[in-house]
Amino acid sequence: MDEGLCQPVSLGLLRVDYFACDLRGTIAQVEANVIASGWSAMSQVTSDMHRYGLTVLGHLDKTDQIPANTSLEGIATGMIHAWDKYNVAGAVILFVVEDRTINICDQRFHEFQVYRQRPGIRVIRRSFAQLLSQASLGESRALIVDGHEVAVVYYRVGYSPDHYPSEREWQLRLLIERSRAIKSPSIQLHLAGTKKVQQELCRPGVLERYLRDQEVTLCRSLFVGLYSLDMDEDGDAAVEMALAAPHRYVLKPQREGGGNNIYGEEIAHTLARLRDSAERTAFILMELIEPHVQPNYLLRPGHGSPELVQAVGELGIFGYILGDGEQTYCNECCGFTLRSKPSSVQEGGIIAGFGAMDSPFLVYWDEDGSGAASSGDGDQRGNTQLS
């Protein structure tokens, strides 16, 4: 801030997560991800696999009920728009990756997709450890890595404190931030994606500052209760509310990457301990969403054959947005992911082995909305619509 912002443009590669609350189509927003939003490549493959499964089982007529998904293409297109905006021939896209990659599908497929759409753009991958010795600022604060000028930085890491084991990694993040490269996300976008900001956006009157009336109504219909735990009257009231009925809430720290939330009785223990300490402001309180439950088969590592479980599905909608304080250059919704997990499991965790990649299967509903419908035989489609 002191030396001035030399790159006002940010690239958002987003995944906003929702639960379906009942079969009639009401959905509730879980959260918005603005950094390292995962699964855009695997979701496409999963839908292809499910379409293939239906086909070989003799249900070719139902394959169009699995909607088309272009999440991978879309995320790569977002990166290319940012590269075009930077507008320096020969500049590269830098993927900042883990030292030891556990989810290769969220980087190599994106790299291949960028080449497919724009063979002239080169992608390089570097870890924080490599960048410590290879990154520097050149003329006009261009980010130079290993002799390449970087147009766009795509962070696959950087969202968790343990990605910054020493002060040197924080200094590196600062160096990249000060550069002219377009970041996904920039620090301001990264902060806008925190749980705290999500909670603040729910306060009455806040969305109205950014959106038109009709959009405010639509967005609000997706929100469940989100409460600040600041050291004030509202925060005190939220603490009392959670202590009185901990099973109705989720306590969330300002973290990403899953596995950090606190549920049920543990909320009561944590808040009893933090009640009078400013440490409680490191959390927000969220109403527990009770998603629609349905039987589904999950194929998971270590579980032998597919298991029939009572499952819930979490729908992630992908989008990309390129803009600055003045202007939005592009803003597109580009696909989805569906992750299913046993309803008894509190967090999604595909990598942790609890959840599984899934595909939405759209069903037909009577036009008057009165009844459930079957999976859409041709003769029923006259009076019905996909939901």
**Positions that interact with ligand ATP (CB under 6 A):** 17, 30-31, 33, 250, 252, 255-258, 260-261, 286, 288-289, 314, 347-348
- 368, 344 contact by CB (below 8 A): no
CA 171 to chain centre: 26
Compute the least distance from the CB of residue 12 to Mg ion, in Å.
Answer: 14
Binds 347: which of Mg ion, ligand ATP, none (CB < 5-8 Å by kind): ligand ATP
Of 106 and 111, the one with the shorter C-beta distance to ligand ATP is 106
Residues 6 or more apart whose CB falls under 8 angstroms from that of 305 comprise none
| The pairing of beta strand 283-287 with beta strand 249-253 | antiparallel
Binds 289: which of Mg ion, ligand ATP, none (CB < 5-8 Å by kind): ligand ATP
Binds 202: which of ligand ATP, Mg ion, none (CB < 5-8 Å by kind): none
Report the residue number whose CB is nearest to Mg ion.
Answer: 33
Task: Select the residue interacting with Mg ion from 256, 284, 314, 357 (CB under 5 A).
Answer: 256
| Complete DSSP assignment for 188-249 | HHHHHTSHHHHHHHTSTTTGGGTS-HHHHHHHHTT---EEE--SSHHHHHHHHHHHH-GGGE
Binds 257: which of ligand ATP, Mg ion, none (CB < 5-8 Å by kind): ligand ATP
Compute the least distance from the CB of residue 252 to ligand ATP, in Å.
Answer: 6
- 224, 248 contact by CB (below 8 A): no
Of 28 and 274, the one with the shorter C-beta distance to ligand ATP is 28
256: left (phi over 0), alpha (psi -120 to 50) or beta: beta
Binding string, 207-246, against Mg ion, x = CB under 5 A? ----------------------------------------
Of 105 and 132, the one with the shorter C-beta distance to ligand ATP is 105
Compute the least distance from the CB of residue 37 to Mg ion, in Å.
Answer: 8
Binding string, 27-56, against Mg ion, x = CB under 5 A? ------x-----------------------
Binds 258: which of ligand ATP, Mg ion, none (CB < 5-8 Å by kind): ligand ATP
Of 31 and 177, the one with the shorter C-beta distance to ligand ATP is 31
Compute the least distance from the CB of residue 157 to ligand ATP, in Å.
Answer: 13
* Of 273, 374, 276, nearest in space to 61 by CA: 374
Q: Which segments of the chain does DSSP mark as H helices, in order?
A: 40-56, 71-86, 108-117, 128-134, 167-178, 187-192, 195-201, 213-220, 233-244, 265-274
Query: In this structure, what token pair is assigned to residue 203?
Result: 């306060």
Of 137 and 224, the one with the shorter C-beta distance to ligand ATP is 224
- 249, 289 contact by CB (below 8 A): no
Of 49 and 288, the one with the shorter C-beta distance to ligand ATP is 288
Q: Which residue has the tokens 């009336």?
A: 213
Compute the least distance from the CB of residue 318 to Mg ion, in Å.
Answer: 13
Binds 114: which of Mg ion, ligand ATP, none (CB < 5-8 Å by kind): none
Of 92 and 250, the one with the shorter C-beta distance to ligand ATP is 250
Q: Does 314 bind Mg ion (CB under 5 A)?
A: no
Of 175 and 288, the one with the shorter C-beta distance to ligand ATP is 288
Q: For residue 122, give Cα distances in angstroms to 41, 90, 105, 127, 224.
A: 19, 8, 18, 17, 42
How many whole angstroms separate alpha carbon 318 and alpha carbon 339? Answer: 13
The footprint of Mg ion (CB under 5 A) covers 33, 256
